[in-house]
Amino acid sequence: MLALVASTTAHCTRSQLSEAIDSYLYTQINGQSSDFKARFDNSTWLGYYENGKKADINTGILNQALAITHNRSIVDTTACATYTEVVVNVTTNPYVIGTQLRFTNHKINKVDSIITKPGDWLFNITGTAYWTAFEDWDVIPESQRDTRDTIKKAADAYLDLFNNPNVTVPWGTPCVRLEGGLYGDPGPSGTCNIGVPSGVPMTNRRYVVDETLGSVDVLLDFGQSKWPDSHQFRVENGKIRYR
């Protein structure tokens, strides 16, 4: 009986998660977090994080009004979690932000954001804004969708490759990598199987998987220095299409 109650409590829907995303975006656009904080589950609260470190939400970036020029989200009704990519393509204070929200009891119990800005590795707001909007992230027809397990394993294979060159990654063709503002070959023969370093552990992985878009986002610690990092994938027919 207790297991049944726990399962029922954890259940969430796309509409509920999408509503929370709308609240998050509204908060970031207006720089006022009071309404957003009303959605928190204080009894199970895990914290507000910026770049892998616990932070004070009252002084964090959510209290800075940002002119969002692009956003894209995925929702995970199995893990009760969401991921939202935010691009602020402006001359003053440009940002690219990736945020995972996690839920319990139909309320948010963790906010986990990677915030990048000028001076960060490969940061180029013009390139990022152009290429991320250029990509095709349409809903995949139900009959053509990969399973949750297939999508997650594709991401893990790519991330495992950084520390094990013998891992087989399901590369798609074409496949394009967006790294900061740099973009690979978007043509029909483009490949993502280039420039992968070795001896770099990718640890503390936190997943959001959305089968309808064939997508998974993974927040993690990069390398021995444990740099905060985010990798989002689009998987089509079991193969990585975008990274």
Mean pLDDT of the chain: 94
Entry pTM = 0.94
pLDDT confidence of residue 4: 38
In this structure, the answer to whether residues 13 and 129 fall within a common structural domain is yes
Domains contained in the chain, number: 2
Domain, as residue range, for 149: 142-242
Interval 21-77: pLDDT, tens: 999 999 999 999 999 999 999 999 999 999 999 999 999 999 999 999 999 999 999
In this structure, the answer to whether residues 125 and 152 fall within a common structural domain is no
CATH of residue 78's domain is 3.10.450.50
CA atoms within 13 A on the CB side of 173: 4
Mean per-residue pLDDT, 87-111: 97
Interval 225-241: pLDDT, tens: 999 999 999 999 999 99
pLDDT confidence of residue 10: 54
Q: What is each CA distance from 215 to 27, 51, 169, 207, in whole angstroms?
A: 25, 22, 16, 10
In this structure, the answer to whether residues 62 and 42 fall within a common structural domain is yes
Interval 111-169: pLDDT, tens: 999 999 999 999 999 999 999 988 999 999 999 999 999 999 999 999 999 999 999 99
